[in-house]
Structure 1
Amino acid sequence: MTQPRGTRPGQAGSASKGATRRAAPRREGAPHPKAAPKAGQVRQVGGQGAAGQRRVPPVSARQGAGTGRPAQRPTRPARPERGPENRASAPRHPGGRKPKSLRLGTANPRRRMRVMVWTVLFVFSIFAAQLLRLQGFDAAATSADALSSRTAKVPIPAMRGRILDSQGTVLASSIERRTVTVDQTAVAQYKKSVNGVYQVVGAAGAAADLAPLVGMSAAELTPVLTGHARYRVVAKNITPLNWRKISALGIPGIYSEPTPDRNYPTSTAAASLVGFLRSDGSAGAGVEVMLDKSLSGKDGHTVYEQALDGRVIPTGHQQTTPAVPGRDVKLTINSDLQWFAQNALAQKVIQTNALSGTVVVQNVRTGELLAVASYPTFDPNQPGQSQDNWTNKAFNEVYEPGSTAKVMTASAAIEEGVVSPSTVVEVPNRIRRNGTEFKDSHDHPTEYLTFAGVLAQSSNIGTVLAGEQMKATTLHDYFYRFGLGQTSGMGFPGEGEGLLEPVKDWDGSQRYTIMYGQGVSVNALQATGVFQTIANGGVRIPPRLIADVGDGKGGWVKAEPAKPVRVVSAKTAKTVRDMLEGVVGNEGTAPEAKIPGYRVAGKTGTADRYDPKQGRYSGKTASFIGFAPADDPQLVVSVTLQRPIKGYFGGVVAGPVFRDVMTYALQELKIPPTNTKPPKVRIKEEETPAKDDPTVLRDRKSGGVR
């Protein structure tokens, strides 16, 4: 075996000087480079140079060599103290920083293992704490958040309650309709058989199949179905039958939402009374607004879990809360009578070129409104933008009533005992009060009329001569008890209370003009209520429009009746009733209001019309209000025309409408005539009474009691 080569003496010396000889290639049998060096050899550690060499002393220099003692490692010379001089003389690294010496010690594997174990345990403890929080403390909230992220909620609109007339005829109802929607991303996958080959036809093919069922062309529909929108409305008001046909096509991404549609079978006949629904489903006018809370019902909803593509998860959570339909409402209106009154009014408004008009039919004994017509009107199925016609003018249009208000003055004067129907009244052509001149509707010489004749011929002067016998406060109280200056209390939207100013606010002339219906304003319902009071024996019953409201279980709850108000005695009411029969006589102002076979009582009205837009009086208000049969009153009918041009006297333009509507109403409700003879009403005093006759009511220049 070849012995390893030693180190030549010169090599050690050269190593001490910092020069290191390059190691020769290892020959066969040479010792391994990592073998321990022999004495005098230099082991190179780290890099080249003196800093990387370590001298190994020869064996002879080792302590205990050849003595049999154990060899000991040579003692390392003490490190010189590092002072400034040493620090300055020490060789430096070319980068300016002295490299650290490499430690020969080996890391402890047990210590390293413990560190790794504790690190892993720490990480797992964090995971465990988070898991405990999610599964333990925040389990409910986390579960709810997760469910919410994949849950869809689809509303189920409640069907609105019906509006019926007194006989159960439908005036408004909700019918089922569908709103078709599209998920454009899904429609692109639409497949169908084309020439016997099943292939993807996408949005274009879906549009071609869907277009005839939604009332659109394929060219119009294709852009609606094309794109990346997850939700878009395709068509509204689709019938259930058409939706079944659409669904049968199997087009992916085509869905529908139930949307009830409001339908008004009587169209314009009761439009402003019943009202309508806006495009957003909110109530627009009339009873729809008045009883919106009862009619609306309560919407329901369906909740289900869906996948990322919007499809329903079959095994997921699903829950449906059904909608609660609205309650039905039954009105006191007779739809046939309403239709007839509406058409009769429309014809007269057009014929006289009037601005507008109203007709009110009321049951004398119950106060129930059987018809409330208003013209111009609109179609509630397509209300459009005609907002001026949305409101019912019988409720919200106030005007000066004119001579129909003389019924209140006459009733108060008779009740207070200042006049009787047979009292003779000297009626000159003019009278003057507080610097204002008063006259009748036409010039005439001095006449001697009975007070019944004053009412029959509608004399302003005769009414003032009787009315001024009462205090102003007394007159005001009677007007208020007749229903003026207050609403009916039924809550109809837009109802006006008219104008009845306190006595302290009356000016000098208003004290007198109020007696014949100027300087005070009413709506058509209030004016009708005055005659209902007289026809009902002096008891005013506030008007009623709502008969019953559904209880939600198939039954009805009757509307609370209004509280009656005693205005005048039954004796006074009968006296005035007989006086009003003279108005439709040959010597009265409204022979056009006669109804063959029936006794009729009523009063005409022709007043100056105040135009709020112009801020002055412009045109006339013509009216006639009456009841029949006169001796056993059942119905009251009022007709009012605003600003008629082709004729404007109440008896001429409003009387014929009263006659036609009252005749139809008596026949519709099967009210027979009484077959009694009317009383003889003395209108004029044929002989001129003596000037000193104290029973004659004259203009005594004093103005009477003020």
Structure 2
Amino acid sequence: MPPRSEEPRRDAMGSRRGSSRDGRGTDPRSGEPGVGGISDARAYTPRGRTIREGGGTARTGVGGAEQRRTPRGGRSGDPFRPALQVLDGGRSGAARTGRREAPAGARGGVVRTVSARPVREPFDDDEVPPGRRPGPRRPERPAARRPVRKKRRPPKLADPRRRLRLGTLLALALFTTIGIRLVYLQTVDTPAFADGGLVNRLTVVELPAPRGTIYDRTGAPLAHSIEARYVYADPPKVKDRVATAKLLSPLLGVPASDLADRMKERTLPGTSIKSRFEYLARGVPIDKAKQIMALELAGIGTHRDERREVPGGDLAANLLGFVSQDMIGLEGLEAKYDDLLRGQPGRKRYESGRGDLAAPIPGGFSETTPPKPGSSLALTLDRDLQFQAQRILSTQMAQTRNSVGAAVILEPSSGEVLAQVSYPGYSTAAPTKVNSPADREDAATSFVVDPGSIHKAITYGAALQEGVITPDTVFPVANTITRGGVVFKDTHPANGQRMSIPGMLAFSSNVGTIEIAEKLGPDRLIDYQKRFGLGQRTGEGMPGEAAGRLLPANEWSGSSYGSVPIGHSVDATPLQMAAAYAAIANDGTYVQPHLVKATIDPEGKQTPAAAPRTWPVLSPQNATALRRMLEAVTTIDNGPGERATGLAAAVPGYRVAGKTGTGSRYVDGKLQPGAVGSFIGMAPAEKPRYVVAVFVWSPGGEGSALAAPAFREIMGFTLHHYRVPPSATDKSPKFEVFPR
């Protein structure tokens, strides 16, 4: 077999390396054979450089011998020419470098050039690809001398793993900070941030508290609250205030200008928040509210409310009074006991949307304070008795013009007021429709008058109790008497005849009464006036009650000795005088008149009112004697000239004891024209159950003719209403006016 060294070496693709058969083995620059193909291309790559560029030497040798090789022509090597070349079959390699013969049996034709390790430059890379052996370096043609350029070191690239770790740490730190802040906001600052914006999202709706009911003694309601509606506006949502007000005005009975003003946008006091709720009307009937809602007006709504109603219309209106639209008592018992009757309104606050989503937010803030209903009052009034007394008094008063009247019905034993009537009256549904605010007052407690002759019962009672007179006392009575330059005379002159005490009461003798009072003295008379309750408020329960006035003894003038005993120079109210006669009817014991029987809490528990004050005024014997003498006023009828003044007050079938009176009225210290006619009586006289007082003031002086008939009808109805047996077995005693 021919030596393998004679065969040209082939590359991996099967082509012969270093062959010049087709001319591809020739060096393109030197023209030397043996270099070409892939090996030549490999030699031009940077990884092929193994010698210093610019004309360095190479050491070659065979068997460890080293030889120096200088590029041909003395030029420096191409900087991109490989430092090692694979020689073609040893033809040119033998000429340039020493070659060692291969031993027999070995691969022939291959010459290996062994060179010393070259000096390594910064950009040299003499590593040989795996599986390739470096061959002998082919001498290079000397290159043209080129200027040597300073090599710059490329920038050192950062380690990507370090960048990744740094980025991860930064991201974790950022997320940790955000997480801690979120936890802090959700746990620590949640209430502060939530409350900060809560006010702007809250809708507040007032929940009215039902006002307590006022009952009569039988449990019938005199004034109570019924379900109604209130109409409100949400000002920011009202589109056209003027047009909306014009539509609501006829339904609410409120001027359109007032409604338009209430719909203006306002800022809540102390805040920058705009009001979302303004009342337009309270206590609107439900049917009216339905008509309003049917209009579908933007920003207008209704909600549950209450309205005060007096079933009797004007029944006891002067006593009960009335309330405002906000259910606050303004007059009468409604005002006096407003704190008791008025409940505590509730309130509902909740988060709601705005605009078209103005509805509660599910799961949002919601707080409800339930309303607390007010307590109720149980009065001593009897609804039926009150109604009839009002009817009777109004009928009698219709005979006069511009007059004022009052009527009181008392139960002497308990001091309970069964009826208390004022004229003129009014309807609580329209409290402003009166001629004067005074027409709404309770005349029984605010109508201050000179009581006149009805005061004589106090003078005679004091004289009996002090022993100045007895029921059998008789003395001559002149037609007139002068005191302090003032002449006092009798309407029924006795012409100096001896007159009995019952006769003096029956004919209302001024002269006889003044003579008895002189024996009593001013101090004792004033003391008994106080014992009978004059000069001080009764404490019945009505607001604005007048106390009246008594003339102190040190202020008496000469005429006072004549005027005070017969009921002048004394200021009293109809209720005070009624309570004084009730003391006579109650065997001489005064019982404070009162209107309130009990209070009833929202759960229905009744608490009786405080017991009325009581004190003795007369002994039972003297009280009985005085009642018998007062019967003469309604019974003596001895023909023309000898008829008692109170015959018109007699109640058929019952013994009646009472007294007529004619007094004066002063307003702001000025004497008013006309006169005050009155009658106060009790029945049955043998054991009185009720006391009725009637007062009538009229500019024309017709009161005296109206009071007694009104008393008769009111007392008659009261006795029949309570089924009091007639006095058939106890006839009235016979009285002598002028005993012989």
Match of 1:555 in 2: 605
- Structure 1 residues 137, 211: CA separation in 2 closer, same or farther (over 3 Å shift)? closer
| Separation (CA, whole Å) in 1 of partners of 2:563 and 2:489 | 11
Equivalent positions of 1:372-451 (< 5 A) are 372-384=420-432, 386=434, 387-441=437-491, 445-451=495-501
In the TM superposition, residue 144 of structure 1 has moved relative to its aligned partner by: 2.3
SS in 2 for 1:573: helix
Equivalent positions of 1:305-384 (< 5 A) are 305-309=351-355, 310-353=358-401, 355-384=403-432
Q: Determine whether 1:288 maps to 2:339.
A: no
Q: Determine whether 1:178 maps to 2:233.
A: no
| Separation (CA, whole Å) in 2 of partners of 1:422 and 1:250 | 84
In the TM superposition, residue 161 of structure 1 has moved relative to its aligned partner by: 0.8
In the TM superposition, residue 169 of structure 1 has moved relative to its aligned partner by: 1.7
In the TM superposition, residue 492 of structure 1 has moved relative to its aligned partner by: 1.4
| Separation (CA, whole Å) in 1 of partners of 2:625 and 2:264 | 81
In the TM superposition, residue 258 of structure 1 has moved relative to its aligned partner by: 2.5
Match of 2:685 in 1: 630
Residue identity in the other structure for 1:338: Q
String of CA shifts for 1:96-131, please: whole Å, max 9, x gaps: xxxxxxxxxxxxxxxxxxxxxxxx9x9999999998
Residue identity in the other structure for 1:143: A
| Separation (CA, whole Å) in 2 of partners of 1:372 and 1:238 | 31
- Structure 1 residues 597, 305: CA separation in 2 closer, same or farther (over 3 Å shift)? same
- Structure 1 residues 284, 224: CA separation in 2 closer, same or farther (over 3 Å shift)? closer
Equivalent positions of 1:583-594 (< 5 A) are 583-585=633-635, 586=637, 587-594=643-650
- Structure 1 residues 438, 224: CA separation in 2 closer, same or farther (over 3 Å shift)? closer
- Structure 1 residues 378, 569: CA separation in 2 closer, same or farther (over 3 Å shift)? same
| Separation (CA, whole Å) in 2 of partners of 1:468 and 1:633 | 31
| Separation (CA, whole Å) in 1 of partners of 2:351 and 2:429 | 38
Q: Determine whether 1:618 maps to 2:638.
A: no
In the TM superposition, residue 317 of structure 1 has moved relative to its aligned partner by: 1.8
Equivalent of 1:605, from 656, 661, 664?
A: 661
String of CA shifts for 1:53-83, please: whole Å, max 9, x gaps: xxxxxxxxxxxxxxxxxx9xxxxxxxxxxxx
Q: Determine whether 1:480 maps to 2:526.
A: no
Stretch of structure 1 that moved more, 445-454 or 293-302: 445-454
Is the contact made by 2:449 and 2:664 (CA closer than 8 Å) also made in structure 1?
Answer: no
| Separation (CA, whole Å) in 1 of partners of 2:634 and 2:687 | 17
In the TM superposition, residue 181 of structure 1 has moved relative to its aligned partner by: 3.5
Equivalent of 2:587, from 537, 552, 556?
A: 537
Match of 1:59 in 2: none
Q: Which has the higher contact order (CA 8 A, sep 6+)?
A: 1
Is the contact made by 1:396 and 1:494 (CA closer than 8 Å) also made in structure 2?
Answer: yes
| Separation (CA, whole Å) in 2 of partners of 1:371 and 1:231 | 44
String of CA shifts for 1:247-295, please: whole Å, max 9, x gaps: 6898775532322111111112311011111244321211101211111
Equivalent positions of 1:465-504 (< 5 A) are 465-504=515-554
- Structure 1 residues 126, 269: CA separation in 2 closer, same or farther (over 3 Å shift)? same
Residue identity in the other structure for 2:218: Q
SS in 2 for 1:260: strand
- Structure 1 residues 326, 476: CA separation in 2 closer, same or farther (over 3 Å shift)? same
| Separation (CA, whole Å) in 1 of partners of 2:369 and 2:633 | 64
| Separation (CA, whole Å) in 1 of partners of 2:288 and 2:438 | 37
Is the contact made by 2:541 and 2:595 (CA closer than 8 Å) also made in structure 1?
Answer: no
In the TM superposition, residue 672 of structure 1 has moved relative to its aligned partner by: 1.4
Stretch of structure 1 that moved more, 225-234 or 546-555: 225-234
| Separation (CA, whole Å) in 2 of partners of 1:472 and 1:204 | 71
Match of 1:669 in 2: 722
Match of 1:304 in 2: 350
Is the contact made by 1:609 and 1:643 (CA closer than 8 Å) also made in structure 2?
Answer: no
- Structure 1 residues 346, 185: CA separation in 2 closer, same or farther (over 3 Å shift)? same
Equivalent of 1:263, from 309, 331, 348?
A: 309
In the TM superposition, residue 308 of structure 1 has moved relative to its aligned partner by: 3.3
String of CA shifts for 1:513-535, please: whole Å, max 9, x gaps: 11110011110110101110111
Match of 1:643 in 2: 698
- Structure 1 residues 136, 357: CA separation in 2 closer, same or farther (over 3 Å shift)? same
Is the contact made by 1:358 and 1:639 (CA closer than 8 Å) also made in structure 2?
Answer: yes
Residue identity in the other structure for 2:216: D
Stretch of structure 1 that moved more, 227-236 or 447-456: 227-236
Equivalent positions of 1:149-168 (< 5 A) are 149-168=200-219
| Separation (CA, whole Å) in 2 of partners of 1:237 and 1:502 | 51
SS in 2 for 1:267: coil
Match of 2:708 in 1: 655
Is the contact made by 1:632 and 1:674 (CA closer than 8 Å) also made in structure 2?
Answer: no
String of CA shifts for 1:75-97, please: whole Å, max 9, x gaps: xxxxxxxxxxxxxxxxxxxxxxx
SS in 2 for 1:324: coil
In the TM superposition, residue 661 of structure 1 has moved relative to its aligned partner by: 0.5
| Separation (CA, whole Å) in 1 of partners of 2:568 and 2:242 | 71
Residue identity in the other structure for 2:693: S
- Structure 1 residues 621, 318: CA separation in 2 closer, same or farther (over 3 Å shift)? same
Q: Determine whether 1:145 maps to 2:193.
A: no
| Separation (CA, whole Å) in 2 of partners of 1:647 and 1:211 | 49
SS in 1 for 2:504: helix
| Separation (CA, whole Å) in 2 of partners of 1:440 and 1:354 | 29
- Structure 1 residues 186, 432: CA separation in 2 closer, same or farther (over 3 Å shift)? closer
| Separation (CA, whole Å) in 1 of partners of 2:278 and 2:621 | 72
Q: Determine whether 1:573 maps to 2:607.
A: no
- Structure 1 residues 127, 445: CA separation in 2 closer, same or farther (over 3 Å shift)? farther
Residue identity in the other structure for 1:375: Y
Q: Determine whether 1:510 maps to 2:565.
A: no
Q: Determine whether 1:684 maps to 2:737.
A: yes
| Separation (CA, whole Å) in 2 of partners of 1:539 and 1:546 | 20
User: What TM-score, normalized by structure 2, do the two folds share?
Assistant: 0.68
- Structure 1 residues 160, 204: CA separation in 2 closer, same or farther (over 3 Å shift)? closer
Is the contact made by 2:492 and 2:507 (CA closer than 8 Å) also made in structure 1?
Answer: no
Residue identity in the other structure for 1:142: F
Residue identity in the other structure for 1:616: L
String of CA shifts for 1:553-612, please: whole Å, max 9, x gaps: 122111112021100100000000000110001232111111111111100001233343
User: What TM-score, normalized by structure 1, do the two folds share?
Assistant: 0.71
SS in 1 for 2:599: strand
Is the contact made by 2:665 and 2:672 (CA closer than 8 Å) also made in structure 1?
Answer: yes
Equivalent of 1:460, from 498, 502, 510?
A: 510
How many residue pairs are counted as aligned between the two chains?
555
In the TM superposition, residue 441 of structure 1 has moved relative to its aligned partner by: 3.2
In the TM superposition, residue 147 of structure 1 has moved relative to its aligned partner by: 2.4
Give unmatched runs, 5+ long, in structure 2: 1-149, 151-170, 267-275, 638-642
| Separation (CA, whole Å) in 2 of partners of 1:532 and 1:627 | 8
In the TM superposition, residue 226 of structure 1 has moved relative to its aligned partner by: 11
Identity %: 35
- Structure 1 residues 215, 424: CA separation in 2 closer, same or farther (over 3 Å shift)? closer
Is the contact made by 1:581 and 1:678 (CA closer than 8 Å) also made in structure 2?
Answer: no
Is the contact made by 2:348 and 2:368 (CA closer than 8 Å) also made in structure 1?
Answer: yes
In the TM superposition, residue 228 of structure 1 has moved relative to its aligned partner by: 9.0
Residue identity in the other structure for 2:651: I
In the TM superposition, residue 646 of structure 1 has moved relative to its aligned partner by: 5.9
The higher radius of gyration belongs to: 2
